[in-house]
Amino acid sequence: MAIHLPELHLNVQTAAAKINKYASRESGDTVETIERPRGGLSVVVADGQRSGRSAKAISNIVVRKAVSLLAEGVRDGAVARATHDYLHLQRGGKVSAELFIV
């Protein structure tokens, strides 16, 4: 993803490469980049528990929730806590995912 901010003379490029595990078609990782409402960028990375489609579904839930909160201007720590609570509620506390917000 490339974002060009001419008023700041700034050009930011982000990239992610995913490699599947042996005998697995899908990665359980999801990566999204978002521009914050008051300026700045955040990269959100989630790694779902297990592998394959179930892990991808979990990481998609986590990243979608985190990105939507960041787009509203919520701070990183609050986003992480709210995303944790949301995943716990959606899946009954039976799954886990790692979340990174940079």
Residue with tokens 């489609």: 53
Q: Which residues contact 73 (CB under 8 A, 6 or more apart)?
A: 36, 37, 38
pLDDT tens by residue, the chain, 102 residues: 666 656 666 677 788 887 777 767 778 889 999 989 988 889 999 998 877 888 899 999 999 999 999 999 999 999 999 999 999 999 898 999 999 999
H-state helical runs in the chain: 53-71, 76-91
Q: Is the dihedral of CA 76, 64, 97, 41 positive or negative?
A: negative
Strands 97-101 and 2-5: unpaired
Residue 69: CB atoms within 10 A of its CB come to: 20
- What's the confidence (pLDDT) of residue 17? 80
Strand partners, 10: 5
- What's the confidence (pLDDT) of residue 38? 87
- What's the confidence (pLDDT) of residue 40? 84
Nearest to 44, CA basis, from 26, 18, 70, 20:
70
- What's the confidence (pLDDT) of residue 5? 59
Strand partners, 33: 43
d(CA 28, CA 46): 8
